[in-house]
Amino acid sequence: MLSLTSDIRTVYHKWPARLKLAGLCAATVSMSFLSSLSASLAACAMVGGLYAVCGIPFVKQGIRMLRPLWVFVVVVAFWHLATASLAEGATTVAKLVAAVALANLVTMTTRLDDLIAAIEPLFHPLARFGLNPRIFALSVALVVRFIPVLAHKGGQLVEAWRARSHRRPGWRIITPLALIALDDAEHIAEALRARGGTAPDT
């Protein structure tokens, strides 16, 4: 849970975490301005090219990381189908896939410690108020790590529900998903305490 870094070594593992995070932010903001389907598909192709540089095994691993996204894709697709705006829906889905795939690429090629080290300077001004910047940096880094894991478990809950019922799960999986998140948070807290809490590694 604390580490989703890929075991497949790539050229991106050597890149500084700050550079990757800055690139992710810039690319995500840029993609939000895309309004045409062709431009959104081009963004997907570019992200796919970044994965392809690392070889087929890494590409397959990246695709597996995207599996939990299908639930959101289906929701967006049905909404735009109902509103007769398929082109707009396809554009939204393409941008969503590109953005999440790019975020996964950063997550898969960056160690948690490196993420914390890259984010922590942003919170240094809080030290003037007696707050620990490392705690905030750790929180942000854990959110980045936790989202794909929680999305994957949400997808598993949906599949389990559909195996037992013909009705759509909808809001019914919210409570078990919240309990899973709390349980995982407890395990993470125990792991952090075992490693010395929020104190930096020495």
User: What is the model's pLDDT at position 200?
Assistant: 52
Residue ranges of the alpha helices (H) in 33-111? Answer: 37-52, 56-66, 70-82, 86-108
92 vs 4 pLDDT, higher one:
92
- Band of pLDDT at residue 11, cut at 50, 70 and 90: very high
Summary mean pLDDT of the chain = 79
**Are the C-beta atoms of residues 113 and 200 closer than 8 Å to each other?**
no
Q: Read off φ and ψ for residue 73, nearest 5 degrees.
A: -60, -45
Q: Kindly tell me the burial class for residue 23, based on how many C-beta atoms sit within 10 Å of its own C-beta (0-12, 13-18, 19 or more).
A: middle
What stretch of H or E contains 20?
Answer: helix 17-32
- Half-sphere exposure in the Cβ direction for 9 (13 Å, CA): 1
pLDDT at residue 202 is higher than 50:
no
5 vs 3 pLDDT, higher one:
5
pLDDT tens digits, 70-120: 777 777 777 767 776 778 888 888 888 898 899 889 888 988 778 878 888
110 vs 174 pLDDT, higher one:
110
User: What is the model's pLDDT at position 152?
Assistant: 65
User: What is the model's pLDDT at position 71?
Assistant: 72
- Band of pLDDT at residue 195, cut at 50, 70 and 90: low
Rounded (5°) CA angle 67-79-152: 20
6 vs 185 pLDDT, higher one:
6
Dihedral, CA atoms, 146, 148, 153, 156, nearest 10 degrees? 180
Least confident of 11-25, 66-80, 182-196: 182-196
pLDDT at residue 64 is higher than 90:
no
pLDDT at residue 46 is higher than 90:
yes
